[in-house]
Chains A and B, each alone.
Chain A
């Protein structure tokens, strides 16, 4: 088994601030994802990365940057925090092999963002 670790667990920022969220996985998975969860809107994909140094935009990429410098880590940056923004950011990973293993995502515990 493995684990996905997200830091920090709670993040409080100021309007306009640049904020970085980090994610580490020890599954040795190739593909990693960042999802945003808002109340009433479910989970929406922000960015994903198929391999080290690869970055792909999801459905909600505007206002975010991402970085995948190592296979095991995937960072997300909120480029300018919006006032009163509250959301949970979830990191996930999956293998890219065949046989079905690439189909199941495993999630971290999330980072809860509040912007004052």
Chain B
């Protein structure tokens, strides 16, 4: 079965620094998709960034980027120049195919990020 593991329960950093959140996954699929989502204090879950396994380049989106290490089954999220508003819970997820073009997401347990002023 597919599995997503986030070993860091919580991280605290100073504002304007760079933080990396770890995520490792297990899959038998040759092609797969990995995601990072952010859950704010209000509970809203927002899509941040995606990595397609067949792409060698690390995905970037604003001040988010990914460190995709396929041989290690690892997809780290890097946030540069952190801001107070980045304080949230970050979830790593992997798409599992249900049928045809339909998939569901398997989530890790999340990493709580606190950005201090």
Contact = CB atoms under 8 A, between A and B. Distances in A.
Interface stretch (A12-20, A67-75, A107-115): A107-115
Given A107-B44, A109-B42, A96 B107 contact: no
A103 B54 CA distance: 14
B64 interface: no
B110 A42 contact: yes
A97 B42 CA distance: 31
How many chain A residues sit at the interface, stated as a range, is 20 to 34
A100 B91 contact: no
A58 B100 CA distance: 17
Interface of A: 31, 33, 40-43, 45, 48, 50, 56, 58, 88, 90, 92, 94, 96-98, 100, 102-107, 109-110, 112
Given A43-B105, A98-B101, A102-B101, 9 more contacts: A42-B107, A48-B104, A88-B43, A94-B103, A96-B100, A103-B95, A104-B50, A105-B47, A107-B46
